[in-house]
Amino acid sequence: MIRWVQSPVQRREGRPNQRGRNGWHEWFLPQRPLRLPAALAAGVALACRPAAAQTELIVNGGFETGTFAGWTLDNRSLGDPYDPDVPAAGGFVVDDNADTQTPLSGLPTLGPGGGTFFALSDMTAAGTHTLRQSFTVPLTAKTVTLSFDMYVYDWFGAGAAIDPSGLDHTTGGTGQPNQHARADLLPSSATAFDTEAGSVLQNFYLGVDPESAQDPPEAAVYRSYVFDLTGTVLPGQTYQLRFGTVDNQFVLNQAVDNVSVRVTFAPEPASGALLFVGAASGWLSARVGRLRRRRTAPSGRSRPAWVFRAKGG
C-alpha cells in the first residue's frame, strides 16, 4: 500500500496532503520571483542613469579674459557730448571696477556680477552701441538655454524712451528722445543695429530698470535672466546674441556678465551600463538554467513536490 507524505516544501508552506495523477502530485515547486543580488541591481541602476552631457556655446561669457575675446563691438558715429568740456566717447568696455567708477563718464557702478570683470556700456556723448556674439546650435542638441546677469541704469532718470527708429540715437534725424537698452536673439544674417520685424527672432529685454529714477549707485541691482530657446533655435543653424544701448538724453549704463548659452544632448548608454546589463543578463540566464534543471526529472517529467513511500518502509 502506498501512502503520501508531505515534502519539506509543503510542510514549510502548510499545504495539505493531496494525491496527484499518474503517481505524480499536481503541485510542483513554487514559482518565486527572480531577484537580482542587491549589489548587482544597484550597479545596473547607477550605470544606466544618463550622464548630464552639456556644452557651452558662448566664448568668454564672463569676460574674465579682461578683453572682448569672442565678441563683436559696433558703434554708430557719436553725437554731441553731454558736457562740452569732456571729449565725446562711448561704447562697451570691459571693466574690473577697481576704482568703483565707470571708465569714460566717471560715474559710480556696481562692478561685476561675478568674477573680476564685466562688460559695461559707458559714454560721454549721444550714441548707439552693441555687443554681439554668434553661436551655432549642434545637430544633436536636445535643449538650449540662455542665461545672463544684467543691470541697466539710466542716469537721466525719466524712464525708457523707445523710438520706432530702434537702435539709432539720431532717430532718423527727428531729434526725438531715444534712451533704452535691449537684449535680442538675431538670425545670422542680421546686422548690428537691426530691429525691424523679422530681424529680431526674440527680444529678451527692452527699456531701463525701474531703479534708474532713484539715487545711485546703491539703488541699481543685477538681475538674473534665463530663457529656454529650445523651441526657437534649430539644430545646425547659427544665431547672434546681441546686447545694445541707445542714448541721446544722458549716460546710460548697461552692465552684462555671466552670459551663457548652454546645450544639453540626448543621453546615450554608458559603457559601464552595458557591462552591468551584460552581467545581469548572465546572472539571470544561469539562475533560470539551474531552476529548470531542478524542476525537470531525468525522464523529462516534472518532479513532484510530494514524495511517497511504501507502507512500513
Domain segments of the chain as ranges: 54-265
Interval 215-248: pLDDT, tens: 666 788 999 999 999 999 999 999 999 999 999 9
**Average model confidence (pLDDT) for the chain?**
81
- The answer to whether residue 30 scores a pLDDT higher than 50 is no
Of the candidates 266, 282, 270, 286, the residue with the CA atom closest to the CA atom of residue 45: 270
Interval 32-61: pLDDT, tens: 555 555 544 545 454 455 555 899 999 999
Architecture of the structural domain at 54-265: Sandwich (2.60)
- The answer to whether residue 269 scores a pLDDT higher than 90 is no
pLDDT at 28: 41
Burial grade of 206 (CB within 10 A; 0-12, 13-18, 19 or more)? middle
Burial grade of 285 (CB within 10 A; 0-12, 13-18, 19 or more)? exposed
Lowest mean per-residue pLDDT among 20-29, 40-49, 146-155: 20-29
Interval 73-119: pLDDT, tens: 999 999 999 999 999 999 999 999 888 999 999 999 999 999 999 99
Of the candidates 108, 132, 112, the residue with the CA atom closest to the CA atom of residue 122: 108
Give the sign of the dihedral formed by CA 164, CA 169, CA 172, CA 175.
Answer: positive
φ and ψ of 185, to 5 deg: -105, 125
pTM of the predicted structure, to 2 decimals: 0.72
Per-residue confidence band for 184, with pLDDT thresholds at 50, 70 and 90: very high
